[in-house]
Amino acid sequence: MPLDSFLLDLLEDPVDHGALLYVPSKDVLFNPRLHIAYEVRDSIPVMLPDESRSVNEAEERSFNDDPDARLTGQR
């Protein structure tokens, strides 16, 4: 189940406080500045820095090319 748009409008990265790219098909929130992703589990974003993972260039391209991806923090 995709994340609620109201929630997406409020979300920002807990480390650098910038916008994230939500990729619903992969269940991730991606920070392109830090090249890390946060998992979305059971429609709950896991925004703990210790739970983030590094993203390689190929995966980053797939996130950016996803037509359903959208930026968070669009208040």
Per-residue pLDDT for 66 more than 60? yes
**pLDDT tens digits, one per residue of 19-43:** 999 999 999 999 999 999 999 999 9
| Domains of the chain: total | 1
pLDDT for 75: 57
State the chain's mean pLDDT as an integer. 94
DSSP states along the chain: -PPPHHHHHH---TTT----EEETTTTEEEETTTTEEEEEETTEE---GGG-EE--HHHHHHHHH-TT-EES---
Domain CATH for 15: 2.20.25.10
pTM over 0.85, yes/no: yes
What is the domain range of residue 34?
A: 5-71
